[in-house]
Amino acid sequence: MRTKFHLLRRKDLNATRIVAGSFAAIILLGTILLSLPVASRSGQSPGLLTCLFTATSSTCVTGLVLVDTATQWSPFGQGVILAMIQMGGLGFVTLITMVSLVLRRKIGLSERLILVSNFNLNNLSGVVRLVRYTVKWTAIFEFTGTALLMTRFVPAYGLGRGIWYSVFHAISAFCNAGFDLLGQDVPFQSLTPFQNDPVVLFTIMALIVIGGLGFFVWSDIAHRREAGRLSLYTKLVLTMTAGLILLGAAIVLAVEYHNPDTLGPMPLWEKVMNALFQSVTFRTAGFCTIDQGAMRDSTLALGCILMLIGGSSGSTAGGIKTGTVAVLGLGLWADLKGRGTVVIGGRSLSRRQQSNATTLALTAMLLFVIGSMFLSLLDALPFMSAAFEVASALGTVGLTTGVTPALSHISRVFIILLMYLGRVGILSIAIAFATRWRVESKLQYPETSVMIG
């Protein structure tokens, strides 16, 4: 038993190292490529730290940038960024598995265990088939998004540039990255030129939401078309996603309705559309149609909450995930009602899952609070601006109140670490929860109690 325990713990450790090491390798390679003169329009590298920051933001599908993507990077540099976004969005495990399948190499148990954790599955059955399904439908969604965006970008920017912009933004939106190429005339303007264009905004919103739902949810919806046959997890994710988007949009609309620097000057239909877009983009996307720095503090606080929640497990989105928040909410409700067990759809939820959700959420909150205080002290930023920046980095979102390019070198390194932790650290914790071998201690201690409240 002891030998088996140590063997499984070693596999658990190796899985975590693979996650961290693979993302680090992609970031290192991206940094080297972006440092090449050919990667910049001027022919001169913007500096190692800027390249590292951009590579980390791309691979961790965040979207925070120190330099404007359109004006700083050449087509080669933009291509490198797009490749890192795609690899970071799908996940290294998915890509490695696809290469193995193409080479007809057998998928080992360790790889299958990591895939199970990555896709939030309960067993090994059908995991390789799910990878094939994921890659196939990723291509379909991104191609469809590209085609729809071309109807607007080609007339606006010409054939060649319009096609490239459509491809780039479709992949960036689907992977919840938030990188854009629309700063050619006005740097860092994101999607503000299209704030009154329903085709562009609803296409981007659809890609963000689909990418953030999770690969397992797509498969479940496709194979169980009748709503009554959907799995409990899928129903939970769809309910949480719809609720968060609609509630977020309603709050943004109410708070920003008369703000002259955001939604104020827009007609009613445009206010509603942009409030909806803002709610969706808060969920780890990073695009914006209004000035984030001009929003009221209440909206910024809402943004921090939604950014930390993020998307769903096994998706291109970041955050602690909708499933985690659902488990926490249901656990809180059960405790308030005096129930000892959390019941969902006639099924009870194990104490272990509740404990995992609590640990993950508390870890993220601790990092958020300490990080916000640290960044505020480092650069003497208003606390709300610092908190928004930290939540954006930790949730791999990419939204900013405009302070990112002005950060000091120490603060930039700090944000790089937060982006890496937000994407790799939380994923590693999730894998550890899924693959950890637990044994009950034979030593029992007498119970005690402490005063609560």
Where does 257-350 have alpha helices with state H? 268-281, 297-309, 322-336
**20: three-class secondary structure by DSSP:** helix
Does 407 have pLDDT greater than 70?
yes
Which helix (H) or strand (E) is 349 found in, with range? strand 347-349
Please give the backbone phi and psi of residue 105, each rounded to the nearest 5 degrees, phi first.
-95, 140
- Residue 427 confidence class, pLDDT cut points 50, 70, 90: low
Lowest mean pLDDT among 71-75, 372-376, 404-408, 420-424: 420-424
Give me the chain's average pLDDT, please: 83
Q: How far apart are CA 18 and CA 13, in angstroms?
A: 9
Which class for 339: exposed (0-12), middle (13-18), buried (19 or more C-beta within 10 A)? exposed
**CA nearest neighbour of 89 among 178, 199, 217, 180:** 178
**What percentage of the chain exceeds 90 in pLDDT?**
52
Lowest mean pLDDT segment, chosen from 17-26, 112-121, 130-139, 327-336: 112-121
Rounded Cα–Cα distance for residues 396 and 367 (Å): 14
Mean pLDDT of 103-118: 52
pLDDT band at 223 (very low <50, low <70, confident <90, very high): confident
Q: Report pLDDT digits (tens) over 350-369.
A: 777 788 788 888 888 999 99
Would you say residue 421 has pLDDT above 80? Answer: yes
Q: Of 32-41, 78-87, 120-129, where does mean pLDDT reach its minimum?
A: 120-129
Confidence tier at 409 by pLDDT (50, 70, 90): very high
Answer whether residue 42 shows pLDDT above 70. yes
Kindly report which listed range (106-115, 239-248, 397-406) carries the lowest average pLDDT score. 106-115
- pLDDT of the residue at 96: 53
Helix (H, G, I), strand (E, B) or coil at 342: strand
Q: How confident is the model at residue 95 (pLDDT cuts 50, 70, 90)?
A: low
Per-residue pLDDT tens over the stretch 296-325: 999 999 999 999 998 887 777 788 888 888
pTM, 2 dp = 0.87
10 has pLDDT over 80? no
For residue 12, pLDDT beyond 50: no
For residue 432, pLDDT over 90 is answered with no
pLDDT (average), residues 101-129: 53
Distance between CA atoms of residues 419 and 393, nearest Å: 5
For residues 393 and 184, the model is more confident at 393
CA quadruple 254, 256, 260, 262: dihedral sign: negative
- Per-residue confidence band for 5, with pLDDT thresholds at 50, 70 and 90: very low
For the chain, the farthest-separated pair of C-alpha atoms sits apart, in whole angstroms, at: 75
What per-residue confidence (pLDDT) applies to 227?
55
CA 86 to mean position of chain CA atoms? 13
**Identity of the amino acid at 129:** R
Question: Which one is predicted more confidently, 164 or 130?
Answer: 164
Percent of all residues in the chain with a pLDDT value above 70, rounded to a whole number: 80
For residue 92, the model assigns a pLDDT of 53
Which 3 state secondary structure label does DSSP give 129?
helix
Question: Which pLDDT score is estimated for 437?
Answer: 47
Distance between CA 235 and CA 62 in Å, rounded?
27
In the prediction, which pLDDT does 1 show?
Answer: 42
Backbone phi, then psi, for 41, in 5-degree steps? Answer: -65, -35
Q: What is the pLDDT of residue 3?
A: 44
Cα(159)–Cα(147) distance, rounded to whole angstroms? Answer: 13
Burial of 133 (0-12, 13-18, 19+ CB in 10 A): middle
Chain segment 433-444, per-residue pLDDT in tens: 555 545 555 667
CA distance 36 to 51: 10
| Per-residue confidence (pLDDT) for residue 2, from 0 to 100 | 44
Cα distance between residue 74 and residue 78, in whole Å: 6
- Helix 232-256 with 268-281: angle, nearest 10 deg: 130
- The predicted pLDDT at position 258 comes to 95
The per-residue pLDDT for 311 is: 84
In the predicted model, is pLDDT for residue 6 greater than 90? no
Residue 57 pLDDT: 95
The pLDDT assigned to 449 comes to 62
Going by pLDDT thresholds of 50, 70 and 90, the confidence category of residue 7 is very low
